[in-house]
Chains A and B, each alone.
Chain A
């Protein structure tokens, strides 16, 4: 388990062939408590992926610091695109992040069954639909039992039933193996269903427009009407969500 102190003094992307320089973050602070399920909401192109990349240690070109309390956490990152190895089977892709050996193979197989892909274990990723590839990527992220789970719009392009199943699986996994979760989505209903805290980001450079604690019970989270009511109370209901945006 890990608490994270995020302080980004400055992050910009330099001007490149046509695109002007962009300042994404300036003096941005966010503290994440251990075991928190933090959902980040924000418009497209705002800097959410950039933030996750910085936290994951993939982007070091910023001023500031990311502090983890205690030992460096085991990080799993479900990227915005699946990023599977096309030349390895589904099972090999999942087992890749575990120590080699039959134990890892078994754990990977069990996790694939959990995400509903048991029968595709020996297929190659390019023969899977995008939704199935996403589920493989999720299995890979879950199977390593991370302390910190970064998820970048992991449930898009899934039908409602699969998305709900995976949300349930995610909840179950976190109960089995507590983790701090940073979860990016455009869907505020999904945010309310999962989060213990919702942060809405806005503007260039990014600032925190809203920071809401979510204290809903299991039954309330299962009720769309209740979630909608919560969102309007919290000022997080999106008008564009009604017209099917994002």
Chain B
């Protein structure tokens, strides 16, 4: 299928979803299930004073900060574990424990120990994401090609060339995989973190709207934020993936 026809299909599919939503709203005829028009109106109202944009920007900044920290630390830990079987035996179980700790527990502990601060919020989100990244990157680091490593040794490539031309390119597929699932996970957890301990951001606004049973505002924030995240995915992540994969047949 061509890109154009794929886009058309997606648009049609989304349109159908809107239609179903509209019909359901008519049928329910309740402020608890507002239709697309009401949600759009709520979105405009929130955007008028700049509150919508500001809160989305704040939340995105938190997503970006914790995402970058988690990718860096998670990759470093994962690569170290993948390269050293000894280290993996020692610390592998820790990663599993962390991986299975509910996100909520980590968030609560961070707020309890570090206070209701920005640092605590970002730490909580990062810690939630680090074990996922570490596990994926460990798999990549353990599967590095011996053949290419030997080639690099014979030709005395040196540390920097080895890293840049031999090692990192082999880890790229694993890095993109964890970045992709990472973004999806991070922005969901950021909302919870904001709801529990921040006084701004999309998560905080959702909580306020919830307390007032303003479902239209909840949906307005949710849709606007999802759209922004999708744009980042399509506009940033996917082109980058295509670029690093251009050598594939």
Contacts and interface: CB of A to CB of B under 8 A. Distances in A.
A96 B247 contact: no
Contacts of B40: none
B242 to A, nearest CB: 14
A76 interface: yes
A57 B153 contact: yes
Given A85-B148, A85-B165, A126-B249, A97 B155 contact: yes
B161 A58 contact: no
B31 interface: no
A217 B154 CA distance: 33
Contacts of B161: 96
Interface in A83-122: 83, 85-88, 92, 96-97
Interface in A6-58: 53, 56-58
B153 A83 contact: no
A68 interface: no
Contacts of A157: none
B69 interface: no
Interface string A54-87: 0011100000000000000001110101010111
Nearest to A53: B150
Interface of A is mostly: loop
A123 to B, nearest CB: 10
A81 B148 CA distance: 11
B157 A85 contact: no
- Of listed B154, B165, B169, B248, residue having the most chain A CB within 10 A: B154
Interface string B217-249: 000000000000000000000000000100111
A97 B150 CA distance: 13
B47 interface: no
Contacts of B249: 126-127
B247 A83 contact: no
Nearest to B147: A83
B177 interface: no
Nearest to A140: B155
Given A85-B165, A85-B166, A88-B165, A58 B247 contact: no
Interface in B183-221: none
B148 A75 contact: no
Contacts of B41: none
Contact of A85 (B169, B244, B248): B169
Given A81-B147, A96-B161, A86 B154 contact: no
B65 interface: no
A244 to B, nearest CB: 29
B151 interface: yes
Contact of A56 (B147, B154, B172, B244): B154
Contact of A86 (B151, B157, B247): B247
A96 B169 contact: no
Given A85-B169, A88-B165, A127-B249, A96 B148 contact: no
Contact of A79 (B147, B157, B247, B248): B147
Contacts of A53: 150
Contact of A96 (B150, B153, B155): B155
B247 A124 contact: yes
Interface in B143-174: 147-148, 150-151, 153-155, 157, 161, 165-166, 169, 172
A126 B247 contact: yes
B154 A58 contact: yes
A97 B20 CA distance: 62
Contacts of B248: 86, 126
A54 B161 CA distance: 24
Contacts of B155: 76-77, 96-97, 140, 144
Nearest to B149: A58
Interface of A: 53, 56-58, 75-77, 79, 81, 83, 85-88, 92, 96-97, 124, 126-127, 140, 144
18 contacts: A56-B154, A58-B153, A75-B154, A77-B151, A77-B154, A83-B148, A85-B165, A85-B169, A86-B248, A87-B244, A87-B247, A92-B165, A96-B155, A96-B157, A97-B155, A97-B157, A126-B248, A144-B155
Given A75-B154, A86-B248, A96-B161, 10 more contacts: A77-B155, A79-B147, A79-B150, A79-B151, A85-B166, A88-B169, A92-B165, A97-B155, A124-B247, A144-B155
Nearest 9 CB-CB pairings of A with B:
A124-B247, A87-B169, A97-B155, A77-B154, A83-B151, A87-B247, A126-B249, A58-B150, A83-B147
